[in-house]
Amino acid sequence: MRTQVAIIGGGPAGLLLSHLLHLQGIDSVVLESRDRGYVERRQRAGMLEQGTTDVLRESGAGERLDREGLVHHGLELRFGGAGHRIPLTDLTGRTVTVYAQTEIVKDLVARRLADGGDVRFETEAVGVDASAPSVAFRDRAGRTGTLECDYIAACDGFHGVGRPAVPGLRTFSREYPFAWLGILADVPPSTEELIYAGHERGFALHSLRSPQVSRLYLQVPPDEDIAAWPDARIWEELAARFATGDGWKLQEGPITDKSITPMRSFVAEPMRHDRLFLAGDAAHIVPPTGAKGLNLAVSDVIVLARALTERYATGSDTLLDAYSSTCLRRVWRAEHFSYWMTTLLHVDPAADDFALRLQRSHLDYVVSSEAAKTTLAENYTGLPIG
């Protein structure tokens, strides 16, 4: 087997890269270890930056996004029993959109298959050669083979085979002393815009998946047992952390899913070795507070698609050679923003009274300063790609 670009991973990054390359006449094969149903049901974040929605629309993959996506023009920071709106669009001219990652994957799978794309589910990449570029794989029947190519894009997540194939890799990481307990509930959202709540008992986030489904999160210890959180306790704790002095009420409903997610930051440098390129979670992880994970993966593959297009069109390696440094500038900015949002709103169990007073002072400054609100809004809606 041979193709121009071998793509490991059939999540949104790998599928979008394959789609963007197809639009430029560049062949690719996507190898995905899981079956199609699993990939299309895998729950992940769904807050899209302006740049992410723009590329989906411009590439012809945004029809259902435009029909079903929920556009947000602001968000609320809530603390001290009061809410403070950050008017994202007024400050930046940009928006964010709620559209579940599962739906993006469904849209991209449908587009690739309709366009005759080669997406191989239940086909696991088991080895990578970055110099004589090829990917060794094993299919659902246990048969092995080799996919030869010009370039390899490892969009295969934190535990994939791509990153270990990069020699001399330098990694940076931080573990946070808390985690998120997340729920999906069959209840209309209690708010039209996201609420990021800082409370003495811990952080809480009110998000949504659709006009009928709410997505909510609670800060919990990293070793928390989910069995310790029956539905009634979850709703009681959420109500306490979102409580305001104006009588705002949290709507409750049946909880359909519960999970606990650890919080960490991770970056691997460089994001390229020879003809192997890392993208998305293969190269970086961010805490979910800033809603950057999916958007960073999308920006990586946009940069890579542009570079590969230039290479095949002109023979120039200029953009390919700059891939890692170009992506890492945006990665580190997003890492800092996610860290900043996380430490601004969560309660560190080791914090003393002095640290807690500094945190409250910082929150007061953010919601009272036009410059600080603009900084938050610029980073939240997404900085330029590339």
- 292 annotated active-site: yes
Buried b (16+ CB within 10 A) or exposed e, 305-330: bbbbbbbbeeeeeebbeebbebbbeb
Task: State the amino acid at position 88 in one-letter form.
Answer: L
The CA distances from residue 283 to 39, 160, 226, 375, in Å, are 20, 10, 29, 26
Phi first, then psi, for residue 120 (nearest 5°) are: -105, 100
- 196 annotated active-site: yes
Active-site position among 151, 176, 323, 380: 380
What are the beta bridge partners of residue 47?
Answer: 98
Please say whether the beta carbons of 242 and 204 come within 8 A.
yes
Task: State the amino acid at position 104 in one-letter form.
Answer: I
- 106 annotated active-site: no
Please say whether the beta carbons of 276 and 162 come within 8 A.
yes
- 373 annotated active-site: no
DSSP secondary structure string, 116-163?
T-EEETT-EEEEEETTTTEEEEE-TTS-EEEEE-SEEEE---TTSSTG
Active-site position among 19, 22, 72, 346: 72
Q: What angle do CA 36, 290, 179 make, to 5 degrees?
A: 80
Active-site position among 292, 323, 346, 373: 292
Active-site position among 288, 323, 346, 373: 288
Active-site position among 99, 151, 176, 196: 196
- 249 annotated active-site: no
- Strand, helix or coil for residue 374: helix
| Residues catalogued as catalytic | 72, 196, 288, 292, 380
